[in-house]
Amino acid sequence: MPYLSHLRTNLKESFFIYFFFLGAIVMRGAGCTFNDLIDMKLDSRVQRTADRPLPSGEITVKKAVIWLAFQCLIGFIILLQFNLLTIFVGLLSLILICVYPFMKRITWWPQLFLGLAFNYGILIGWIELHNNISYICLLLYIAGIFWTLGYDTIYALMDIDDDRIAGIKSSAIYIGQKRIKIFISIFYLSTFSLLFLCSIFGNVRWYFWPIFFIAFLQLIWQVLTLKANYKNDCLKKFKSNNLFGLIIFLGFLLGN
């Protein structure tokens, strides 16, 4: 009987991981599709985004809407596999997905709203597994928001000139290139500090810590070597966050 109980637990966790991973991909894609639909005219004014499928006319608005509806349908079907509280919290994420594309028109901090939306899956996953929201979950969520603030501000540096002309607001424009390293340092240090607290409260194993500090060194490297005036370097630093995320993921996986 203990073996069967353990087997059921493992199957449930495997089921959850599979559907959660698939759902995250589908709904992030839906968010990107919706964002592209809303930003179609703005994207046509920015050199880097003018060649995207919608502003370039490669894909029609009708086809994009159909694709968005399909993505949302798949995401909803996946969400229905979870408990009622998870379904309710998951549906609330639609508010953030719908609000985010308009933020660059009304606030200098659209990256903050992107962080709220992109990291919302932390809340969904935690609630499904624990049926509550704890301080560890909230710390992890806020850490993700600060991380997004950091890397997406770097991303916004690539379009800073075009965005000014098009009237698009961003944290990169508000902060200014002279102060950008200071602010990104604050964002990344906040990310590190909150992840550190999560790890302490989560009682991770000792071999998590060397991996964790390697990840922190990656963030330090980003800040120290960032060339805010060079688009290629900004893109390089932005993409390098895939490595940071992978290191943190492996650290938590091994540490737990």
pTM, rounded to two decimals: 0.89
71 and 121 housed in the same domain: no
SS (H, E, C) 178-232: CCHHHHHHHHHHHHHHHHHHHHHHCCCCCCHHHHHHHHHHHHHHHHHHCCCCCHH
77 and 202 housed in the same domain: no
The full DSSP string for 64-127 is HHHHHHHHHHHHHHHHTTS-HHHHHHHHHHHHHHHHHHHHHHH-S-HHHHHHHHHTTHHHHHHH
Q: Which of 35, 65, 81 is the last residue of a domain?
A: 81
Cα separation, 214 vs 247, in Å, equals: 8
10 and 118 housed in the same domain: no
Residue 74 inside a domain? The answer is: yes
Domain that includes residue 124, residue range = 108-256
How many residues are recorded in the chain?
Answer: 256
Phi, psi of 30 (to 5 degrees): -65, -40
Q: Taking a C-beta distance cutoff of 8 angstroms, is the pair 247, 214 a contact?
A: yes
Q: Which of 20, 46, 81 is the last residue of a domain?
A: 81
**Per-residue model confidence as pLDDT tens for the chain (256 residues):** 433 333 344 556 677 788 888 988 999 999 999 999 998 888 888 888 888 888 888 889 999 999 999 999 999 999 998 999 999 999 999 999 999 999 999 999 999 999 999 999 999 999 988 888 899 999 999 999 999 999 999 999 999 988 898 889 999 999 998 999 999 999 999 999 999 999 999 888 888 999 999 999 999 999 999 999 999 999 999 999 999 999 999 998 887 7
Q: How many domains does the chain have?
A: 2
DSSP class of 44: T
In 3-state terms, what secondary structure has residue 248? helix
